Structure 1
Amino acid sequence: MDFLFQPWHWFVSGFLIALTMLILLLMGKRFGMSSNLRTFCAACGAGKASAFFRFDWKSDQWNLLVVFGAMLGGFVASHYLSAAEMPAISEATKASLSSIQVSVDNKYLPVELFSISALSDIKTIVILVIGGLSVGFGARYAGGCTSGHAISGLSNLQLPSLIAVIGFFIGGLVMVHLLFPLIF
């Protein structure tokens, strides 16, 4: 059972993702996390307020299990399968975070970003609201989220997904190298 408590090699998850995509392809289904929000809203009656939510959501309810599985899997992994000690952060990353006044005391969850006290800062609230709206708008404008395009769209050889993934990558680089240092 020790193999459960250590990081797995990348090809294990890669194989499992490919197997899942093959099964979904054979079943005629598409994968994507952001589409679950639409399904959830439609199931809750949002179709009364907007035509966007008027569709046969019951045919996509299987995808809601993916969200539940992701949450349950994350909980189980973090509470029962995590190693006692998290892998160390590189010295270069520590120096880079220190240069923008972000602590490394809490490993992967700096208290400046991931704490209840951080929510008392108006700047943090504004960043969260703008970031959330940007992600939501971007996922809708791109016709899906990163998981839908990068995993499902690319495995189906869809050119729009390739263009979207390239855009996600460029956006990530701009955020990390230009905007993040300006914000923090």
Structure 2
Amino acid sequence: MNALYQTWPWYVSGTLIALVMLTLNYFGKVFGMSSNLRTLCTMAGADKFADFFKFDWKAQRWNLTVVAGAMLGGFVAVHYMSDPSNVNLNPKTIEQLAAMGIDAPNGKLAPQALFGNDIFQSPKIMFILIVGGVLIGFGSRYAGGCTSGHAIAGLSNLQLPSLKAVIGFFIGGLIMAHFILPLIF
């Protein structure tokens, strides 16, 4: 398949992310996805119920274009650029996933057992998704931002709290992948 339709190499994506970060820094803007949820909740009237949502959301309107761009980019990537022929999983990883009943992606970017439409028919998986979503939401607020905000924006600005948060994210991911995920599946 044409190289344009394959997943992008890290050096192309990384360069584009760096250019976006330099542009945002130049204009004095801070990148982060979780702050957009706060903006959307405030726009919907949550400021009437909690002080956390009382802020000038119009000053953050520009950041909603980041959400729109992420959604548009995700759509384009999945529908026009999702030939994962250059994505190689370690055979040991495939073996470990198979032991948990998770199929190899088999030409897709993600395994169907975790990301297919069948997950919506499993109460167990739905429970895991809901609990996971709540924990991610709580964790990103507790950490003062999400992985994209800390790992991309915070680290590029050399912020020590972001370094601590990113270390915590990685430790949490390792614990999840090696200890909790095998218990769930």
Q: TM-score, normalised by structure 2?
A: 0.90
Partner of 1:137: 138
- The equivalences for 1:71-110 within 5 A come to 71-83=71-83, 87-104=87-104, 107-110=108-111
Kept in 1: contact 2:82–2:109 (CA 8 A)? no
Q: TM-score, normalised by structure 1?
A: 0.90
Q: Distance in 2 between matches of 1:125 and 1:178?
A: 20
Deviation, structure 1 residue 116: 3.3
Aligned length: 183
Deviation, structure 1 residue 98: 1.3
Q: Distance in 2 between matches of 1:52 and 1:122?
A: 32
Paired residue type of 2:148:
S
Paired residue type of 1:153:
G
- The equivalences for 1:13-24 within 5 A come to 13-24=13-24
Partner of 1:68: 68
Percent identity, please. Answer: 57
- Name whichever of 108-117 and 129-138 sits farther off: 108-117
Partner of 1:53: 53
Cα deviation per residue 1:36-70 (whole Å; 9 max; x = unaligned)? 00011111221111111111111111111111111
5+ residue gaps, structure 2, are: none
Q: Distance in 1 between matches of 2:76 and 2:83?
A: 12
Q: Distance in 2 between matches of 1:134 and 1:160?
A: 20
Partner of 1:111: 112
Partner of 2:173: 172
Q: Distance in 1 between matches of 2:36 and 2:12?
A: 26
Q: Distance in 2 between matches of 1:42 and 1:60?
A: 11
Deviation, structure 1 residue 5: 1.8
Paired residue type of 2:113:
E
Root-mean-square deviation (CA, aligned residues, Å) is 1.9
- Name whichever of 78-87 and 133-142 sits farther off: 78-87
5+ residue gaps, structure 1, are: none
